[in-house]
Structure 1
Amino acid sequence: MPKFAANITMMFNEVPFPDRFEAAREAGFDAVEFLFPYEYSTSDLAARLADHQLKNALFNLPPGDWAAGERGIASLPGRDDEFRRSVDQAIAYAQALGTPSVHVMAGLIPDAAQKQQYHDIFLTRLEYAAAQCALHGITVLIEPINSRDMPHYFLSRQDQAHAIVDQVAAANLKVQMDFYHVQIMEGDIAMTFRKFQPNVGHIQIAGVPDRHEPDTGEVNYTYLFKLLDELDYKGWVGCEYRPAKGTLDGLGWLHTMTKA
């Protein structure tokens, strides 16, 4: 059975963020992931993980000005110093929380952008992030995000992301494969995972098309979970979905998996 991590940015919104750790543990999760930890102290978050015997699977580097619409800065010109500071901050949090992987968001690019320029900047920044994180045993992840939910995001397809990983050629640089995004952009999830599995460092799931529980919509997750076991996938599966109703009301799929 795959190892599931609750994304407590999106799940358990019935309670304030600090209380979602306890809620996730009580619901049967052994790990959590979240978008950004930086609003809270490392000591507070580490204590909550320890108190509830949870692992932290993943979080993102600082994304720039999220409130103003930025979605990462790693490919954006003129942000070198800010990016290096964001790497330092993420490493400090990952060390304190025992987090094995951090996600570097590429950013949004203009319609008329010279994409090669952004590509070259992204590679240089990833080389830096991977080198710094390698010193602390941390994996760096990049994630293609579908263009329906996030128009103009620099990465949208798996082949694009895996080509970048090959170009950077850092052992600790991997791809975060969200089956929800793969289905929307490409389909053929099973064969796409089979093809790219060696460079997949983290998986995320959600129902398609509404991004609710994985037992709703057009994707056969029962089949995909069996495939992950068949292919001996050892990483975490992040549950990055928006519960259709209450979080607990929608966890039937998890209870079915844990009893299987």
Structure 2
Amino acid sequence: MTRLRFDANLKWLFTEVPFVERFDAAANAGFAAVEYASPYEYGPAQLRSLLNNAGLEQVLINTPMGPPGSPTRSGLACMPDLVPEYRDGVLRGLEYAVALDARFLHIVGGIVPDGVSPERAHARYVHNIAWAAEQAHGTGIGLLLETQNKRDAPGFVLRSQEHAAAVVEAVGDDNVGLLLDFYHAQIDEGDLIHTYERFKDITLHLQIADPPSRNEPGTGEVGWAALFAAIESSGYDGWIGCEYRPKSETVAGLTWMKEITR
């Protein structure tokens, strides 16, 4: 049985302070690793320095996305008309991931564009993931595919965990696997322990938040004690990203780690 390890998502946690101060805040709260969606507002050397000074490991970053409300707000990987932009984003993401010694680059799938059939978007997505896998060879960076729920991201290219798993199988590359986010999975599919058990062999990373409000574990509808026990007993030895919106103040809300995982 392995001990569960949680990393802090700095987009969501420690927002009481500016982003560059969240590294020290996470370390002071007891975290040994961090993740965040977008590093691109800062230079790799600056981020590397922040990680080193705080004694933190970088777990993952995302490929570039457009601003909120834009067609590319949830990524570009399924968009037939934006292949050059997608490829530029993957290469930029890999450059940052290597510089930060990140374990993973999350290839964000995207919303199926208006006027594009789901079948065409899916075909482009699979081709784009295969291309990214080729670019990642020799870097040591794993590529993650994540299903997002239809309530928060209507029209997202991946419809279910099963759909994402089928893409992993179609690409057939050992450095491509699932990012299983239990918040998204609970909203669309539920049955989280069975879902985890079904796809654990191709799951490279986990993320957590408690529906319906996306707050910390113990504030919503998920039975976390049983779920964490199942993950622990499975031998999962990766990180679990805390990608939730604290209900009040970040540090005060961290009591769930001891209460649920004891």
Q: Residues 144 and 155 of structure 1 are in contact (CA less than 8 Å); yes or no, is this contact kept in structure 2?
A: yes
Q: State the alpha-carbon separation in 1 of the partners of residues 140 and 260 from structure 2.
A: 31
Residue 218 of structure 2: aligned partner? 215
Q: CA deviation at 1:98?
A: 0.5
Q: State the alpha-carbon separation in 2 of the partners of residues 183 and 34 from structure 1.
A: 22
Percent identity, please. 39
Q: CA deviation at 1:68?
A: 2.5
Q: CA deviation at 1:216?
A: 1.4
Residue 233 of structure 2: aligned partner? 230
> Of 8, 11, 14, which residue of structure 1 is paired with 2:10?
8
Residue 206 of structure 2: aligned partner? 203
Q: CA deviation at 1:153?
A: 1.2
Map Cα deviations across residues 103-154 of structure 1 (whole Å, 9 max, x no partner).
0111111466311111111111101111111220110001000010111111
Q: Structure 2: where are the runs of 5+ without partners?
A: none
Q: State the alpha-carbon separation in 2 of the partners of residues 249 and 131 from structure 1.
A: 43
Q: Residues 176 and 201 of structure 1 are in contact (CA less than 8 Å); yes or no, is this contact kept in structure 2?
A: yes
Task: Name the Cα RMSD after superposition.
Answer: 1.4
Residue 21 of structure 1: aligned partner? 23
Task: Say which SS state the counterpart of residue 179 (structure 2) adopts.
Answer: strand
| 1:140 and 2:143 correspond | yes
Q: Residues 111 and 152 of structure 1 are in contact (CA less than 8 Å); yes or no, is this contact kept in structure 2?
A: no
Q: Residues 79 and 113 of structure 2 are in contact (CA less than 8 Å); yes or no, is this contact kept in structure 1?
A: no
Q: State the alpha-carbon separation in 2 of the partners of residues 187 and 200 from structure 1.
A: 17
Task: Say which SS state the counterpart of residue 99 (structure 2) adopts.
Answer: helix
Q: State the alpha-carbon separation in 2 of the partners of residues 122 and 230 from structure 1.
A: 34
Q: State the alpha-carbon separation in 2 of the partners of residues 257 and 147 from structure 1.
A: 28
| 1:191 and 2:185 correspond | no
Please list, as runs of the form range in 1=range in 2, the aligned pairs for 1:47-62 lying within 5 A after superposition. Answer: 47-62=49-64
Map Cα deviations across residues 61-119 of structure 1 (whole Å, 9 max, x no partner).
01245563521001101212111111111111111110010101111114663111111
Q: State the alpha-carbon separation in 2 of the partners of residues 206 and 163 from structure 1.
A: 25
Q: State the alpha-carbon separation in 1 of the partners of residues 117 and 260 from structure 2.
A: 46
Q: State the alpha-carbon separation in 2 of the partners of residues 18 and 118 from structure 1.
A: 37
| 1:115 and 2:142 correspond | no
Q: State the alpha-carbon separation in 1 of the partners of residues 11 and 60 from structure 2.
A: 12
Q: State the alpha-carbon separation in 2 of the partners of residues 149 and 203 from structure 1.
A: 19
Please list, as runs of the form range in 1=range in 2, the aligned pairs for 1:235-246 lying within 5 A after superposition. Answer: 235-246=238-249
Runs of 4+ that moved beyond 6 A? none
Q: CA deviation at 1:254?
A: 1.9
Partner AA of 1:250 in structure 2: G
- TM-score, normalization: structure 1? 0.96
Residue 36 of structure 1: aligned partner? 38
Task: Say which SS state the counterpart of residue 80 (structure 2) adopts.
Answer: coil
Q: Structure 1: where are the runs of 5+ without partners?
A: none
Q: Residues 146 and 182 of structure 1 are in contact (CA less than 8 Å); yes or no, is this contact kept in structure 2?
A: yes
Q: State the alpha-carbon separation in 2 of the partners of residues 168 and 190 from structure 1.
A: 26
Q: Would you say how many aligned residue pairs link Structure 1 and Structure 2?
A: 259
- TM-score, normalization: structure 2? 0.95
Partner AA of 1:90 in structure 2: G
Q: State the alpha-carbon separation in 1 of the partners of residues 249 and 17 from structure 2.
A: 11
Q: Residues 7 and 241 of structure 2 are in contact (CA less than 8 Å); yes or no, is this contact kept in structure 1?
A: yes
Partner AA of 2:84 in structure 1: D
| 1:75 and 2:78 correspond | yes
Q: State the alpha-carbon separation in 1 of the partners of residues 159 and 10 from structure 2.
A: 24
Partner AA of 1:17 in structure 2: F
